[in-house]
Homo-oligomer: A and B are copies of this chain.
Amino acid sequence: MAKEITPRTEDYSAWYNDIVKKAHLAENSPVKGCMIIKPHGFAVWELMRDALDVMFKKTGHVNAYFPLLIPKSFLSKEAQHVDGFAKECAVVTHHRLMNDPNGGGVVVDPTAKLEEELIIRPTSETIIWDTYRNWIQSYRDLPLLINQWANVMRWEMRTRPFLRTTEFLWQEGHTAHATREEAVQETLQMLDVYAEFAEQYMAMPVIKGVKTPNERFAGAEDTYCIEALMQDGKALQAGTSHFLGQNFAKAFDVTFLSKENQREHVWATSWGVSTRLVGGLIMTHSDDEGLVLPPKLAPTQVVIVPIPTAQAEVNEVAEKIMRELKDKGITVKYDTDDTKRAGYKFAEYELRGMPVRIAIGKRDIENNVVEVARRDTREKSSISLDNIGDSIQQLLIDIQANLFNKAKQYLDEHITRADNFDDFVDILENKTGFISAHWDGTTETEEAIKEKTKATIRCIPLDNEKEDGVCILTGKPSSQRVLFAKAY
């Protein structure tokens, strides 16, 4: 096995594709823009999904499942939504194939044309709010706190594994509330859940903020987001939480009888994260040797490699270590494959991002130690076999913390203030990262800056201080800085 990973400094984009491929995370499929998520990549997503699902349920949400297909007419009901979502999507027009009368395999049966075309969901607000109309009559039916784990499809022109694919896996929360305040509170609560997940599980620090009107979700009154910074200095929108106001309730005529016996429109939120997070995870921690996984999202946290294999004493020590680790809830694999050399295995596990590798040699056993290699720093050390369970448990905690701290330091060092356009361009091109700058608040200026520099306003941070200043492009007055960056 040759590693042959393009170094990040040489070609960051090629490096990313190499990691995805050589760490066996995903590959392209015969369907344009759709990826195959391989077992190792899917195991990472399963850990993400399971952790998020617990957090959603703790905050009172339940799961349900709504249809994959949406009647075309539904998409036009919410005026903004149709512009944002009804365009690039997969359209089902027929429901039958037939044998080609000319013998050319199967062809679409022209007589099986649908009366109304169906769209593969790009997101499910429309069909869910059409359903909520029947589920909500009174304030007693509220709040309705529902989440769905599903596949969705958006016909993207340029795709990249995990980061932007035509089909992707995600969760979409859709909640209904009696008051504006409660809906806003839910929107912010779920943003906090996302930020906590990103930082505590993915070890990926994020900035919580609100999008400008131009970057809002189609149909939302406010879109909140968590933004992370990748190692190439580009931002990644990692999750969004939308306050939808009464827009969908009005479009789908969803009303309730309030405590005061008044008929009112329902208030809505929606929020989602997707397999894009796997892309963010890769780009936050990985290095030129391969994938780096934080222990909390590693399908296997520890691998034990015997040197050489098939020695009774080595097996005995390995079994003892495995028992101690499993008792602590640590996932561990003992690699007894004798068709591969230890060196090959070391490289392969590095490539796959296994957080800790334990090598057991015969001389080690005589000295009552094993060699432990941590993936994050690639440091090796001798660790005593006494209380090895505790040592490894602590090491995993250290690795998780170290990955977060390293990424946090990188993020903190890459939020730079710019007070004029020349500095802005210079920082963007040479230092990269987020740029905190004044902006006059108009979509026109936002678009003009994007056109000149490819940088977009990633968000207005939630903890932003008010500060008088002037727009870096137009010189018009501004009351606060916003965060710009080039983004995925």
Contact surface of A with B, Cβ cutoff 8 Å = 27, 29-31, 34-39, 42-43, 45-46, 62-76, 82, 86-98, 105-106, 108, 117-120, 127, 130-131, 134, 140, 146, 150-151, 153, 155, 167, 169, 339
Q: Which residues of B contact A97 (CB under 8 A)?
A: 72, 75, 86-87, 89, 91, 119
Q: A146: shortest Cβ distance to chain B, in Å?
A: 7
Flag if B73 contacts A167 (CB, 8 Å).
Answer: no
Known: A75-B106, A120-B68. A91 touches B95 (CB 8 A): yes
In the complex, A173 Cα to B98 Cα: how many Å? Answer: 28
In the complex, A284 Cα to B105 Cα: how many Å? Answer: 43
**A167 is contacted by which of B63, B67, B86, B91 (Cβ under 8 Å)?**
B67
Q: Which residues of B contact A87 (CB under 8 A)?
A: 96-98
Q: A160: shortest Cβ distance to chain B, in Å?
A: 16
In the complex, A96 Cα to B150 Cα: how many Å? Answer: 21
In the complex, A339 Cα to B45 Cα: how many Å? Answer: 42
Flag if A64 contacts B36 (CB, 8 Å).
Answer: yes
Known: A46-B63, A87-B98. A70 touches B37 (CB 8 A): no
Q: A157: shortest Cβ distance to chain B, in Å?
A: 10
Q: A111: shortest Cβ distance to chain B, in Å?
A: 13
Q: Which residues of B contact A43 (CB under 8 A)?
A: 62-63
Q: A177: shortest Cβ distance to chain B, in Å?
A: 17
Flag if A29 contacts B67 (CB, 8 Å).
Answer: yes
Flag if B64 contacts A106 (CB, 8 Å).
Answer: no
Q: Which residues of B contact A96 (CB under 8 A)?
A: 87-89, 91, 155
Flag if A118 contacts B31 (CB, 8 Å).
Answer: yes
Q: Which residues of B contact A93 (CB under 8 A)?
A: 91-94, 108
